[in-house]
Structure 1
């Protein structure tokens, strides 16, 4: 008769669980100015803050008007490394706008998203 000892199997399972560790969360948009679904006065900047530092070379955003045209802007990264700011060539005219963002975090994951806001 064979003796079965579960100890080696339990030890292997524990090592696998320890090595796997917790899953890393992906970067996400935590705040934006103008805020999603808001109505604002004419603005000359749009700022997006993420939960972790994006890789600037692979990250950015576009502001798109109701006709589907991209608004000209110059983007920069704030000192905190988590905030992207777009400075517009001129204030936005009244109407509906959409912000389409894309970022790559340091772990290589790419995330995208969009939200709308209006200018009165």
Structure 2
């Protein structure tokens, strides 16, 4: 009986560990500039994730969504190059030139070890 109880307990612990891993998804834990920040002299946007992301699944967009003096500014894509960090948990977006004053939105999506694509967006303002 005791062996059965120990085996059952080990099985439950194993399943719990597996389900915790399966439920983990790639999430953005920080960025520079930070969400909703007002900053100056932005030459790159850095994304930091809670876990390694699969580089081939990583997608990002950088959009200018507001320009000073223009109330109806249509979103404008900003060209950039990108680079994954050696740790696999970070990505740097590097626009060809420093960002002009305005409001920007970053939209990203990626999959982590569980291969489930996650994504979100955040905005910041350059003064």
With the length of structure 1 as denominator, give the TM-score of the two structures. Answer: 0.83
Gapped runs of 5+ residues in structure 2? 66-73
Structure 1 residue 16: deviation in Å? 5.7
CA deviations on 1:42-76 (whole Å, 9 max, x unpaired) are: 31110101011101111131111112121100011
Query: For residue 87 of structure 1, what is the aligned residue in structure 2?
Result: 94
Residue 72 in structure 1 maps to residue 72 in structure 2: no
RMSD between aligned residues: 2.2
Residues paired across the two proteins, number: 115
Residue 46 in structure 1 maps to residue 53 in structure 2: no
Structure whose CA Rg is larger: 1
Query: For residue 6 of structure 1, what is the aligned residue in structure 2?
Result: none
Query: For residue 59 of structure 2, what is the aligned residue in structure 1?
Result: 60
Mapped to 1, the partners of 2:79 and 2:87 lie a distance apart of 24
Q: Which of the two has greater helix per residue?
A: 2
Query: For residue 71 of structure 2, what is the aligned residue in structure 1?
Result: none
| Contact 1:37–1:117 under 8 Å retained in 2 | yes
CA deviations on 1:75-119 (whole Å, 9 max, x unpaired) are: 111122211001101111111111101111122111100011000
With the length of structure 2 as denominator, give the TM-score of the two structures. Answer: 0.78
Gapped runs of 5+ residues in structure 1? 1-9
Describe the SS at the equivalent of 1:20. helix
Q: 2:107 aligns with which of 90, 100, 106?
A: 100
